[in-house]
Amino acid sequence: MSTPINYTRTKLSCYFAYLSMSSVFCLPPLLFVTFRDMYGISYTLLGTLVLVNFCTQLSIDLIFSFFAKYFNIHKTVKVMPLLTSAGLFIYAIVPSLLPQYAYAGLLIGTVVFSIAAGLCEVLISPLIAALPSEHPKKDMSMLHSLYAWGVFTVVVISTIFLTLFGRENWMYLTVFLALFPLVASYLFATSPMPEMNISQDNHSGEVGKRNVGLALCMGCIFLGSAAENTMANWISSYMESTLQIPKSLGDIFGMALFAILLGSVRTLYAKYGRNISTVLLWGMIGSTACYLIIGLSENIIFSFLSCVLIGCFTSMLWPGTLILMEEKIPNPGVVAYALMAAGGDFGASVAPQLLGVIVDKVSVSDWAAQLSTILALSTEQIGMKVGMLTAALFPLMGIFLLLFIKKYFAK
């Protein structure tokens, strides 16, 4: 008898890759105000960086949805972290050497590391699902919890670095973070890889039902991702510009706590979780309430707590929808995971960009100028609050979609 392959190192490689990938998502928002002050980049253009990030990932998702069979999955997984490092190096070096082309450098770097991020989302989840395990759902939740813990780590390191060495040295921080994906590349290169199901299993005779179910799950992950990533991308700027909290305090007690709650709930679900559809529903309800409080309340403490609590309520909306898909659609395959990643990336691209556009438009409007004298708020603060109210629409729609999904799969 042949000796069973030990995939422990492979699982650890997936976990570390997801952990190191967090810098791609959380570092740019931490530097938004720095880029605005140093290079004069508008909120709309900063929001466009987020849009480019997730649209690039969306493109990778769609490519894998239609052409997955043409890729060598194992080689692609091993190359993926190298692209992350390359993108972060470009992101840091071009603005430093050519400040007149700072935005172009940020844009190019964003495209490169976003390709890697798209590959990570498309391939790591099905890779974890393909590994032999007694608790596959818990492994999936643990994978996504490590992203949140990575965000927390990057926030703490970034805050300490920028406080000690100043914002003007942000590029050295970026270069430092670019080293971690190189470790993930080495781990993948020295780990065994399981066989992965490229196509969906359509032998059940219920292809139409599967496709409708997958479409519903894509809609759910779109709305959940929009709710999570709007706050993840703008919490640092919101606390600094609207709540007037010093950046170091806002990042540590705001974005870091957001990430802690995001990771804690995912970790707890990995150990004790069940009834994922109910968890998703309450997550949408809580997120809607928090966004409404942020947009309507003039109390700094309530607004601060609501920003942080969104980390708790949105924590399972992305990984939980994947778990829901796995429960309702057996043997989904890489293509299904790619489509789900496409839905999530679309939400993560549209919502933060929409908020940036709203802030810029409202800030220069006449009615915002009139309202600022009544509320004793700047037009930029009013713009941020209107943006947060708009963001509440995504989880609100998610509530109704999940109620429909429950009825659909109950038939």
Residue 340, in any domain of the structure: yes
Give the range of the structural domain holding residue 151, as residue numbers without chain letter: 9-189+205-410
Is the pTM value of this prediction over 0.85? no
Residue 3, in any domain of the structure: no
- At 70, which amino acid appears? Y
Tell me the mean pLDDT in the region 133-158: 80
Q: CA end-to-end span of the chain, whole Å?
A: 45
Residue 167, in any domain of the structure: yes
Give residues with Cβ within 8 angstroms of 232, minimum separation 6.
Answer: 25, 26, 29, 151, 255, 258
Q: Rounded to the nearest 10 degrees, what angle do helices 333-363 and 317-328 cross at?
A: 150
Give residues with Cβ within 8 angstroms of 162, minimum separation 6.
Answer: 34, 169, 170, 173, 247, 248
Residue 122, in any domain of the structure: yes
Tell me the mean pLDDT in the region 76-86: 89
Helices H / strands E in the chain, number of each: 18, 0
Residue 195, in any domain of the structure: no
Question: Which range is least confidently modeled, 182-186, 194-198, 201-205, 230-234?
Answer: 201-205
Residue 334, in any domain of the structure: yes
Q: Has residue 91 got a pLDDT over 60?
A: yes
pLDDT of amino acid 338: 78
What average pLDDT is seen over the chain?
84
Question: Which range is least confidently modeled, 41-50, 232-241, 396-405?
Answer: 41-50
DSSP string computed for 50-86: HHHHHHHHHHHHHHHHHHGGGS-HHHHHHHHHHHHHH
pLDDT of amino acid 203: 47
Q: Has residue 205 got a pLDDT over 50?
A: no
- CATH number for the domain spanning 277: value is 1.20.1250.20
Residue predicted with more confidence, 73 or 96: 96
Position 184 confidence tier, pLDDT thresholds 50, 70, 90: confident
Q: Has residue 200 got a pLDDT over 80?
A: no
DSSP 190: T
Residue predicted with more confidence, 5 or 388: 388
Residue 383, in any domain of the structure: yes
Q: Has residue 90 got a pLDDT over 90?
A: yes
CA distance 190 to 78: 10
State the total domains in the chain.
Answer: 1
Q: Has residue 206 got a pLDDT over 60?
A: no
Question: Which range is least confidently modeled, 105-114, 226-235, 255-264, 289-298?
Answer: 255-264
Within 10 angstroms of residue 171's Cβ, the number of other Cβ atoms is: 17
pLDDT of amino acid 394: 97
Give residues with Cβ within 8 angstroms of 70, minimum separation 6.
Answer: none
CA distance 164 to 158: 10
Residue 14, in any domain of the structure: yes
